[in-house]
Amino acid sequence: MSKYTVDQVGNYLSSGFWAGRTPVNLGSTITVDLSSLTAANDFLARAAISAWADLGLNFSFATGGHADIKLQDDFSGAYTDWTRPRDNGWWFSTYYPTVNVGRDFTQAYGSKYGEYLSQTWLHEIGHALGLGHAGNYNNRATYGIDNHYANDSWQMSVMSYFAQDDNYTTGASFAYVLTPMPADIAAIENLYDLQPTAGAGDTTYFWDTNAGGAHGRIGRMISNGTLADTPFTLTIMDRSGIDRLNFRGETAAVNIDLTPGSINSAFGLRGNVLIERRTVIENVDGSAGNDVIKGQDADNQLIGRGGNDRLEGRAGQDDLVGNAGDDMLIGGTGDDRLTGGGGRDVLDGGAGSDTAVYIGATGVLVDLARPERNTGDAAGDRLISIENVIGTAGEDTLRGTAYDNRLVGGAGNDQLDGDWGVDILEGGAGNDVLRGGAGSDRLFGGDGADRIVVDFGQDRVRGGDGADVFLFHGGQMTLVDFTDNVDDLVIYRAAVADADLTKAEILDNAKIVGGDMLLYLTPSRLIRLEGVTDVSTLADDLFLI
């Protein structure tokens, strides 16, 4: 038996079950009368309405009199009836549904949110909105006999008669349905002009939620433990903002793929968290377990927290954070940031210019060319396709490769060596030593008394605040912020050996061009001091050694 797509099931729910158009034709604002419900059923019915409203349906409540949908619990059983009123002998085209979920259901199944009674309200209100069953069955059905397609289950639609574990093809855990599922959303989109408002803005789901509607209720109940013993499934539909799935309070591992339309596992269950097919979720906070979290084409932030995690950014410029445990971080395409945290981690940047981040550690040695030398939090880490390193607030030693590298020391007295390639070195605060190596590099000392060494290439240098020493071996250097009587410029004699220049001759040969001082050492060796126009200011700041 073949599987149906979400659209195929959605079409069946909205028209196929009825062998034509649904009997319901409600307006843009749907009025609901629930004035006769007991308190328990009133709460569950409103929760179900909230879940349907999250799709972009507009509900209002009426007490007595005429309403588009009437909810009651007066009679036994759970069912939805339709009436078509008439006036002066003419039948109106609109059917008005009455939903009954009897008090016998409350006695049989209890009134706890997230269990079968609340799912029954969600199901029956789905009928009232115009949805049929997910197959040609009513009252009861047996999987393998009554289903029309292989993937008929609650995982696809709340209108199905088959729990996830009734259908062996799902591989999912038994779970009660808290929201409309993917095919239900497609069916409602067939019937209504939706204006989704749920998830507007930057929304966090589950722990520490800021969501409204049904997902806000679910998140708060997860955080306060109310749903801890309830197996549940849901679908997230969110068409805007930068959004996050937060599992930070969970001990059980999660398996999350942010691809739209994906089926995911969390809260100790399999196949219970679904992402609607046009929904883009950007970020995930993992659990204390061994998580598998995968991004998509957006710029994702994936945080593993505890456990030995596998994080895959895929496309986009991603931020992957493993935290504790022996983690595997795979950036994929794009310029990614990979933070392994504690443990022996694998940081695989993939395509793009990728960065290993050690900000949270206390001083590291990171040698991109010879990682077996690495110490501190970097010891034992395997660095693959990593071009850049951001160090710690402590004293770091960062060394590049023959490729183009960016090395950032941060606070502390750091030593940065670009080696070959066109490198960017940033010392940050502290008394740092920066050496660009071969290639045309950009060197930024930052705050503190820094030593900046220029070897070859055409380097651009900024010392930053503090008394800096600039050491020139060769090539060409543009010095952006030389300060008289604060900074020192040291020229190695080897740099002028061909011309056999003295300090006095260097100063005599200096030229002022375009507001900058040019020191011509040899035909291929030049120092430009931006903004310096008085040669005499170098008299006590220039050294030849």
Residue with tokens 């994929």: 332
DSSP readout, 132-152? --SSS-BSB--TTTT-SSTT-
Q: How far apart are CA 185 and CA 483, in angstroms?
A: 66
CA 234 to chain centre: 19
Give CA–CA dist 366/356, Å, rounded. 9
432 vs 198: CA distance, rounded Å: 50
Coil, strand or helix at 462:
strand
Helices first, then strands: H and E counts in the chain: 7, 41
* Helix %, strand %, coil % of the chain (to 5): 15, 25, 55
Which residue in the list 124, 250, 282, 395 is annotated as catalytic?
Answer: 124
Backbone angles phi, psi at 43, to 5 degrees: -65, -45
Q: Which of 95, 104, 105 lies closest to 130, judged by CA?
A: 95
Pairing of strands 244-246, 263-264: unpaired
- Nearest Cα neighbor of 445 from 421, 467, 473, 478 is 467
Q: Provide the 10 A C-beta neighbour count for residue 534.
A: 10
364 touches 377 (CB < 8 A):
yes
Residues 6+ apart with CB under 8 A from 56: 192, 194, 195, 196, 197, 198
* Whether residue 426 lies in the annotated active site: no
d(CA 420, CA 286): 38
C-beta of residue 272 within 8 angstroms of C-beta of residue 255: no
Bridging pattern class, strands 96-101 and 78-83: antiparallel
CA 37 to chain centre: 42
CA quadruple 490, 492, 497, 498: dihedral sign: negative
- Both tokens of 514, joined, read 């375009």
Do 162 and 143 touch, CB atoms closer than 8 A?
yes
Q: What's the CA gap between 197 and 488, in Å, rounded?
A: 62
Q: For residue 291, what are the β-bridge partners?
A: none
Catalytic residues: 124
